[in-house]
Chain A
């Protein structure tokens, strides 16, 4: 099967589920990149370009939502979660308005645009906001169902999407349940808890570990908030070591969320793999994953080091 970027899956999902007249889609001069142009082709009368004005877009989204619209607001993650952060907090989360912030080009795999465009702090920032639901899907089908779930939920949602084409993890029969992690590979020796395209990388790491006689479980955490406490505690009890893997700063993201749960409920050894408190760099995605230690081989090596 070919690779599909989660941003593409987002655009298609908008077009698929966007018949509801209440759905309004906003963009900030990036509609070809965020893929909201896929929705625009079907429902041009409900797609509005706000120009290069992300803070304004978030507040306009809030105003629209206050009248009963279901608003999708898209731009790159860096300009959504960070440029317009305080607007999201005070005009969307505080009044608990029905705005879905679907932010594309998250993480290092933005590639050549470089550090200024590589958002590696959004999970930490967005999950710190009261009333916000945070979703970080890993493949096409999970994105499609996440967008459907976001549309059905009444309240603010942040969806983290990628630029890079990724392989499918889930099959056609996949059931998406908001707030529930998914065991994508069983295992007994440790659990790799991953999100976004690190799910694919963790599955490959688990295969490398299997060759070395280490049986790793792999869990896909698509909902960062509310996080699946029960599953995390269960994995900690059954496999001991927990290794979190994310294309995000190790501070405050998936690793932080997992540690908060385990520290309070079942203290155990956790190894956090992610971007280690550094800004990104320009480069092709594969070279960047290598440079920042996020390839399957590097993940496997870190697991082995953590086990010893």
Chain B
């Protein structure tokens, strides 16, 4: 990946991370940890991969995205707003009673949201349905989804995985946001889903293991998926809370809002990161 492209994605992801912090802060509730861990995947999908048009969000030929781990709505909303689907200034209405930005995404309320989610395990199965529809209608759109590594403990995920392989849905790419943590602790302590990659291989998927914070690896996996005759699972090793020092790797930040002081520290860390990226962009240009 070209350096400027990478820096641009990095910049966008950092802006998205700032939005995530402020959404959760302004709502005084929500899920920062898993939102921050999947921000780089979402950024790459929406700014370097998916065929979507913010001016025509219901285009029948658009690529689809399903946030199977719907509690990470702050990340999806920030990405969609930055992409231009709705004003970034609406993000601070997140979770408020008259807002269209529900705690978990609703496809009837939010432009750019392709499926309502929030109940873990169901999103990936709906994504299988969308990918199957593309095959039935002989359309070339692709379907993307992000799952949590705790979420894959749901049996439904594996029923969906079986169906995707059975119907050879090579137009489907499912990311597992492999941050190692769920609500009650480490995934291996709560209910061990390992070995994740081997399970998807056994279910008939094309499996690619990457670093979920490396844009080039994310993009390469997306390109490799296009050459496969199977659905692709990208097992993306990443860090829950990524980008905010005190949230990184701490499951306590799964579903907790920062207080004013914590919010300010998080934003200043991300601002410093942003300044670094801007300086590098200036050097490159």
Residue positions of A touching B, CB distance < 8 A: 27, 29-33, 49-53, 55-56, 78-79, 83, 111-117, 281-284, 287-288, 291
Chain B contact residue count (CB 8 A cutoff): 32
Asked if B121 CB lies within 8 Å of chain A CBs, one says yes
Q: Which of B97, B121, B193 contacts A287 (CB 8 A)?
A: B97
**13 contacts across the A-B interface (CB closer than 8 A):** A27-B184, A29-B184, A52-B121, A55-B155, A56-B155, A113-B29, A113-B103, A113-B118, A114-B106, A114-B118, A115-B118, A117-B104, A281-B102
Nearest CB of B to A279, in Å: 9
Residues in B with CB closer than 8 Å to A78 are 119
Beta-carbon contact of B191 and A116 below 8 Å:
no
Are B104 and A114 in contact, CB atoms less than 8 angstroms apart?
A: yes
Q: B97 — which chain A residues lie within 8 A by C-beta?
A: 281-284, 287-288, 291
Q: Does B27 contact A (CB under 8 A)?
A: yes
Pair B29/A53 contact, Cβ less than 8 Å: no
Those 8 A-B pairs whose CB atoms lie nearest each other, nearest first: A51-B191, A116-B118, A283-B97, A114-B103, A51-B153, A287-B97, A112-B95, A114-B102
Flag whether B190 is at the interface (Cβ < 8 A): yes
Answer yes or no: B164 CB below 8 A from chain A CBs: no
Give the distance in Å from the alpha carbon of A117 to the alpha carbon of B154 in the complex: 17
Complex: how many Å from CA A27 to CA B190? 10
One digit per residue, 1 when the CB lies within 8 angstroms of any chain A CB and 0 when it does not, for chain B 155-198 equals 10000000000000000000000000011100000110100000
Give the A-binding residues of B (Cβ under 8 A). 27-30, 70, 95-99, 101-104, 106, 116-121, 150-151, 153-155, 182-184, 190-191, 193
Q: Is the CB of B117 within 8 A of A53?
A: no
**Smallest Cβ distance from B242 to chain A, in angstroms?**
21
Of the residues A49, A284, A287, A288, contact of B191 by C-beta under 8 Å: A49
Report Cα–Cα, A32/B103, bound state, in Å.
20
Chain B binding surface SS class:
loop
Task: Establish whether residues B70 and A116, one from each chain, have CB atoms under 8 Å apart when the complex forms.
Answer: yes
Residues of B within 8 A of A52 (CB): 120-121, 150-151, 153-154, 182, 191
Instruction: Tell me the complex Cα distance, A50–B155, Å.
Output: 12
Interchain CA distance A112-B190 in the complex, whole Å: 26
Cβ of A184 to closest chain B Cβ, rounded Å: 30
**A31: nearest residue on chain B (CB-CB)?**
B184
Enumerate chain A residues within 8 angstroms of B153, measured Cβ to Cβ.
29, 51-53
CB-defined contacts of A283 to chain B, threshold 8 Å: 95-98
Q: Which residues of A contact B151 (CB under 8 A)?
A: 52
Query: Contact: A116 with B116, CB < 8 Å?
Result: yes
A29 interface neighbour in B30, B70, B190, Cβ under 8 Å? B190
Contact A282 B154 (CB under 8 A): no
Contacts of B96 in A (CB 8 A): 282-283
CB distance from B100 to the nearest CB of A (A): 10
Q: What residue in chain B is nearest A40 (Cβ atoms)?
A: B184
B150: nearest chain-A partner, CB-CB? A52
Given A49-B190, A51-B150, decide whether A30 and B119 contact each other with a Cβ distance below 8 A: no
B109 to chain A, nearest CB (A): 10
Q: Are A50 and B191 in contact (CB under 8 A)?
A: yes
* Contact across chains for B183 and A32 when beta carbons are under 8 A apart: yes
Q: Which residues of A contact B104 (CB under 8 A)?
A: 113-117
- Among B117, B150, B154, the most chain A Cβ lie within 10 Å of the Cβ of B154
- Contact pick for B119, options A27, A49, A56, A83, CB 8 Å: A83
A282 to B94, CA, bound (A): 9
Q: A114-B102, A115-B104, A115-B118 are in contact. List 7 more A-B contacts (CB 8 A).
A: A29-B150, A29-B183, A30-B184, A31-B184, A33-B183, A111-B29, A114-B104
Q: Is the CB of A29 within 8 A of B118?
A: no
Question: Chain B residue with minimal CB distance to A78?
Answer: B119
Residue of B nearest to A33 (CB): B183
CB distance B117 to A116 under 8 Å? yes
Across the interface, name the chain A residue whose C-beta is closest to B96.
A283
CB distance from B15 to the nearest CB of A (A): 24
Indicate if the CB atoms of B119 and A116 lie closer than 8 Å. Answer: yes
Contacting residues, chain B, for A33 (C-beta < 8 A) = 183
Please name all residues of chain B whose beta carbon is closer than 8 Å to the beta carbon of A111 when the two chains form the complex: 29
